[in-house]
Amino acid sequence: MSPSTRLLLTLLTSATLLLGLGEAGATQLAAAWTDNSNGGATTRIERRLGTDTVFGAIADVPPGVTAYVDASVSQGTAYCYRAFAYDADGVSPYTDEVCATSAADGPTVTVGKTGTGTGTVASSPAGINCGTACSASYPGGTLVTLAATPDPGTMFNGWSSGCAGTAPCTLAGNAPVTVTASFSRVSLSYTLTVAESGPGTVASTPSGIDCGSDCSEPYASGTVVTLTATPKNGSTFTGWSGGGCSGFARTCVVSMTAATLVSGTFKNGKGK
């Protein structure tokens, strides 16, 4: 081979994802070159990972062929290629090194959320955390499991469009799919109880407690309840305790974030 013989190698940086029904995806990188040996030389293709420094031979391409498709690459991975030609008369210099990253495309799983509640959906393998990342692509045939976690005050009602029920949902296939998770808000309530002693009554605003007779009432979470103490028959109100209430003022304000017990004490004119 003449010392001036040289291959011109061009890597086609586009990568094609091939998906067939029931088959895993295959990412490919294609190389093409100009053969200045007039079809008389064999071309050796060498490859390295973008993170490596050492090349390894992957193919000897027969004389007259000026393209090679590398189907043994991994998705979303950088590779570098070089080549040289050889025949009975000698070996050409290496081509320039050319690098490209294979496609990371694959079937896309997308999560949608509906309902009055809030929550997150996360995937295994990682990729979806919805929340923030509600779509991800995976190699064909990958088993993707989605799990829903409702926020406090919310319940998970179940899946639709690809899954059903409330258990974690597992998907497998080679076609894009959208799954919807439904969350609804749960109406939480907490009970306010008044312990009243002595000659007097305690009433609430909003209504519900009138203690003497009705000393316990459920209120929706976050409700602000004002309790008012009213002495009877010349008695005096001598103070609150519990539930964040204290002191001798006749009113006490309670914010309902948990079940709460408040005590109010009265004494008659004789100090009893």
Task: Domain of residue 46: give its range.
Answer: 8-101
pLDDT at position 240: 95
In DSSP notation, 233-267 reads: TT-EEEEEESTT--SS-SEEEEE-SS-EEEEEEEE
pLDDT at position 129: 93
Closest to 199 in 3D by CA, of 125, 264, 155, 151 = 264
pLDDT at position 104: 63
Same domain, 120 and 173: yes
Same domain, 180 and 194: no
Same domain, 181 and 193: no
pLDDT at position 27: 63
Q: What is the pTM of this model?
A: 0.42
- From the first residue on, what is the mean pLDDT of each consecutive set of 10 residues in the chain (272 residues)? 44 28 48 80 91 93 87 80 87 85 76 93 92 83 89 89 88 82 88 92 94 91 92 91 91 92 88 52
Domain boundary among 47, 74, 101: 101
> Residue 141 CA to chain centroid, in angstroms?
20
Domain boundary among 134, 163, 185: 185
Residue 144 lies in a domain: yes
